[in-house]
Amino acid sequence: MRERLRNAPLLRPVIEALSIAKERAERGYGSVPNTLRLLLLAALLIAVPFYENPLGGGVVFDDRWLSVFRLVGLYIMLGIGLNIVVGYAGLLDLGYVAFFATGAYAYALLASPASPAIDFPIEDVPWLFWAMLPIALVVGAFTGVLLGLPVLPLRGDYLAIVTLGFGEIIRLFLINKDDWTGGSQGLYGIRAPPLPDVPLLNITELKSTALTEWYLFIVVGVFLVAFCAGRLRDSRIGRAWEAIREDEDVASAMGVDIVKYKLLAFAMGAAIGSFGGTIFASFQGSAIPEDFNLLVSINVVAIVVIGGMGSTPGVVVGALILIGIPDFLRFKEASDLLGLLDPIVPFADTHNWAEDLRNNRFIVFGALLVIVMVLRPVGILPSSRRKLEFAAPVDEAAI
């Protein structure tokens, strides 16, 4: 009986929470050091633009690095957003780019001088970007519910294919509905939001203040989004998602409102995706349909799955690998680093490995997905909860 209780999927979270609490009590720490650790991490990350190279030559991470970090940070945000849908609620969404595009175009429609929607020069309103961020959240959540409604009864692979369809339809819509969206040219000329000129940030000529501020903004954003996602996961809502993920029918029988919580998951994920889209359109200065193709969705799903579903550290690792490394390969440092391989690899005298890798990054990306899945189907850093699940022998494997 005891054994059966332990294995009941719905009780598992409770039992696990209890055992974690017990373990913590035994080791003599509560949740405070964890918070401290996070604060320390935040401080380290915020200080990144200011690291001085001890060997001289200015800062360690110059503009190029900061723009890579900015993109990685953006994808971490997207990953955390999709993680709510895929990792927490177990709904495989392959059309996440739809929400990303929603946010980007929502902002671009207002801020681009090419926008057909607005005929007064709203791009001069300095606080537009900041006002747009909460609006993007709302618009995104709304789109999430809208696209979530028709797919409520679908599960697993079917949900994946239909959402993939949504992602493609959105792109076709953006290209073809050119009297709204500027067609394949997109909406361009979005001005960067005027940022306050903080003298403190202007440390060397090597770095533009704007990039530093962008970087800091993204770091804060990532922490904010991660915090919200974490709180959601540990709330009643998060437990409902988990129940749905483990077994929808049982969850429904236990009184979990499937429709409400599924839509909530879609809405939350979409809100964060749309938030990211607005940021993307802003630092890109444009919104072009080609920026919102299927590969974006697949990238984000891959970040979540390779990192380890349901795990925020996993998302960070996934984004660093899948977004950070391909961008890093553009740097001279990457060529130098990979050049170290030349003596070991034959015929490599005139070869630029970094460039080769970069040119073939999609081939490598595809192969990497297969390799990681075959070697580690649970991802690199699975959440502690998931680790327990997959360790348990399951015949009807959970999603």
Partner 1 sequence: MAAALLVALFVIVSVIDDGKGWTFWFEQLRNGLTTGSIYALIALGYTMVYGVLRMINFAHGEVFMIGAFAGWVTLTEVFGGDGMATALIAPAIIVAMLVAAIASASAVLVIERIAYRPLRHAPRLAPLISAIGVSIFLQHLFLRLTDGLSKQYPRIFPQGPGESIDIYITEIKYIELFLIGSSIAMMLTLYLFVQRTRVGTSMRAVAEDQEVAALMGINVDRIILMTFLIGAALAGVAGVMYGLWVYFIRGTMGFLPGIKAFTAAVLGGIGNVPGAMVGGFLIGLAESVGREQLNTLLNPALTWALGWAGADGLGLGNEWKDVVAFVVLILVLLFRPTGIFGEVVGKRA
Tokens representing residue 379 in the block = 């991802």
Residue whose CB is less far from partner 1, 57 or 366:
366
Residue whose CB is less far from partner 1, 37 or 177:
177
x/- mask, partner 1, residues 335-364, rule CB under 8 A, reads ------------------------xx-xx-
Q: Return all residues near 229 (Cβ < 8 A) that are at least 6 apart.
A: 80, 81, 83, 84, 268, 272, 312
150 interacts with partner 1 by CB under 8 A: yes
End-to-end CA distance of the chain: 27
Task: Identify the residue among 5, 21, 172, 253 touching partner 1 (CB under 8 A).
Answer: 172
Alpha carbons within 13 angstroms on the beta-carbon side of residue 335 total 9
Kindly give the residue spans of alpha helices, DSSP state H, lying in the chain: 2-7, 12-27, 32-46, 63-83, 97-111, 128-148, 156-176, 178-181, 209-233, 236-246, 248-253, 258-284, 294-307, 312-319, 325-328, 332-339, 353-359, 361-375, 384-391
380 interacts with partner 1 by CB under 8 A: no
Task: Identify the residue among 32, 200, 344, 370 touching partner 1 (CB under 8 A).
Answer: 370
| Total of chain residues touching partner 1, rule CB under 8 A | 50
Applying CB under 8 A, which part among 18-26, 74-82, 107-115, 166-174 lies near partner 1?
166-174
Cα distances from 4 to residues 10, 11, 93, 200, in angstroms, run 12, 10, 33, 61
Applying CB under 8 A, which part among 9-17, 176-184, 207-215, 321-329 lies near partner 1?
176-184
217 interacts with partner 1 by CB under 8 A: no
User: Rounded to the nearest whole angstrom, what is the least distance from the CB of residue 280 to partner 1 in the complex?
Assistant: 22
- 37 CB-contact burial (10 Å; exposed 0-12 / middle 13-18 / buried 19+): exposed
x/- mask, partner 1, residues 280-319, rule CB under 8 A, reads --------------xx--x--xx--x---x----------
Residues binding partner 1 (CB under 8 A): 86, 92, 150-151, 153-162, 164-166, 168-169, 172, 175-177, 179-180, 294-295, 298, 301-302, 305, 309, 359-360, 362-363, 365-370, 373-374, 377-378, 390, 397-399
